[in-house]
Chains A and B, each alone.
Chain A
Amino acid sequence: AQTVTQSQPEMSVQEAETVTLSCTYDTSESDYYLFWYKQPPSRQMILVIRQEAYKQQNATENRFSVNFQKAAKSFSLKISDSQLGDAAMYFCAYRSVQTSGSRLTFGEGTQLTVNP
């Protein structure tokens, strides 16, 4: 079974600065997806970014980028030019590509605080 670990329960960053959230996972599969979800106080689960394991290039979405290290099974999220609206709980998640593997496995979450 796959597992996802986020070792930072809480992080803080000054507005306009950069912060990196860590995520490691364990799997025996070679083809899978990795995701970062944002959960603001509204509770909505918002997809921030996704990475396909067969792609070596790191995914980027505006101020959000990932550092995907497949051999090390590491998937960190970098938020540049942090904004107050980035304050939220962030979850790392894994999904198999196999037809029967539609399940999302989540990490424990990292609560990000953005200080003005």
Chain B
Amino acid sequence: AQSVTQPDIHITVSEGASLELRCNYSYGATPYLFWYVQSPGQGLQLLLKYFSGDTLVQGIKGFEAEFKRSQSSFNLRKPSVHWSDAAEYFCAVGRRPGYALNFGKGTSLLVTP
């Protein structure tokens, strides 16, 4: 069965600092990996996805993520965080691109001035 672990429940970073959110997955075959962001009272918005090919994927809002098969990880990064990035971030895995997703429990990002 697929599963996703986001080890950090909360992360606080200063505005302008770099960010890395961790995601580890458990799945026997090639995973299809996603990062979503959720602002308060809103639904989930797709930041980026990995299906195959280049292991470094670029997303919206300046985010990128790197797929590392040897570490079963798909960490999300941003070089310089903006206050508007404060939100809940979810990593998700699917066994095929269009199938239902298993989500991690989320990481809440707080950005300080």
A binds B: no
Residues of B within 8 A of A (CB): none
